[in-house]
Amino acid sequence: MKNIKVLGSGCANCKTTLKLIEEVAQARGVAVNLEKVEDMAAILGYGVMSTPGVVIDGKVVHAGGVPDRKKIEGWLQ
């Protein structure tokens, strides 16, 4: 199971990113523990200055803008 955090204050791109990750994980049959992080101190603690950010198993894999499905599929392999 992958532990995934979507970092963002609730902006439209953050919501879209969360939804896309859920959709891709479900379509690929990958179990994920998905968490939304809205606390700015926690977000900055990851070194992310541009949201949405995505952290998988403790590692920042994305910051700024909505990732495409192909990128998300790569993260979930």
Q: What is the pLDDT of residue 9?
A: 86
Residue 54, both tokens:
């995505």
Distance CA(61)–CA(57), nearest Å, equals: 10
Q: What is the pLDDT of residue 21?
A: 98
Q: Kindly give the parts of the chain with pLDDT less than 70.
A: none
CA angle 27, 29, 34 (to 5 degrees): 90
Q: What is the pLDDT of residue 10?
A: 82
Query: What's the pTM value of the predicted model, to 2 decimals?
Result: 0.93
**Residue whose tokens read 């179990």:** 31
